[in-house]
Chains A and B, each alone.
Chain A
Amino acid sequence: MRKIWFVTAAIFVVAMGGVASAEAPGDPTAVKSEDGKYLDKDGNPTYKVEADGTVDWYTYSGYRRYHSECHVCHGPDGMGSTYAPALKDSLKSMNYADFLGVVASGRKNVSTSQENVMPAFGDNPNVACYMDDLYVYLRARSNDAVGRVRPAKHEDKSEAYGKAEDACMGHNDKK
């Protein structure tokens, strides 16, 4: 199962040729949901925030994973740091496919004046199993749909999500 995910990510990278396309992410409005995952009109993952502040599970999970794996370079809440760019801004112009490509295979921008290198997370399950979560959270941040703090209320984790997560992370492996 984990292998399948990585292959999927790799296909994206190949499809994109590793080059960011100019296409912006488009309207983030959720038009349908599948097992707690919301999708926009193009079928890309997106967030759902209720009037009372309740966020979908992916946004919440993405918040948690971001503040473990990403914030040590990109700063809290996608705000950027002295070291790496603010993803709440990057995601305004980066679409889903580009996002998956960069996270899976990394990116290098090294010159005499700067040396920015992002590692490839494609074979790191702590990141690769949560690509959609991270994307949805950062998409919500880029549209100011969620603020700089931990979402106070969230939808429950769906059964299908839990199963896929356990399979991807290998949590069902019994020795």
Chain B
Amino acid sequence: MSKIKIEDVNLYYGEFQALKNINMNIKENEITAFIGPSGCGKSTLLKSLNRMNDLIEGVKINGRMLLDDVDIYKDIDASVLRKRVGMVFQKPNPFPMSIYENVAYGPKTHGIKQRSKLDDIVEQSLRAAAMWDEVKDRLKKSALGLSGGQQQRLCIARAFSVNPEVILLDEPTSALDPISTMKIEDLLVDIKKNYTIVIVTHNMQQATRISDKTGFFLHGEVVEFDDTEKLFSMPENKKTEDYITGRFG
């Protein structure tokens, strides 16, 4: 079932058209990867899925983006949307507060005050991010003392804490060592049964390892969108073939 439908979307930064006529269905309980050279529009599309572009001056979007058939630009409040559609960025960005507070922050802003309930959410979120055992004895310590890989998993735990339906990840492992990368990849594959996941990655092996569908972007267009196995073994489009085999990009 399609969780997100993208219909005829064009996005402009002022005069510059960053996305051209994008049409795409993103399925529930699948991992969808966006690949393509820098500046191809993949991160722009990812960010527009939870309206991160709203704050950028001069951005104009037309077409429709639907979450469960509801237009996210017309019929959903941005803060409600961001609760349903979480985002994890390239660089881990924990808040300068304790591990516990990092995870409890989101639920608190959504009105949850009861301590026992917050404790539960923090534990569940950290467990889901496969780091509960690593940090359970130092929840009150600063999150900034964690390693890069732990910080990134904390950010994923933070995204889980408000019980989202969709998780967007923008190159979540590009700054991490192979072990941390593998942990996050395993985590994403484990949790996809409960979420819809969209990941932007420059690591094509990562896309082949974890994603069900892959979209190849170039100059603001989706050149090819297909099952990952198909796209990386027998791409339909020569541009896709040339990009994934390293002939350009």
Question: Do chains A and B stick together as partners?
Answer: no
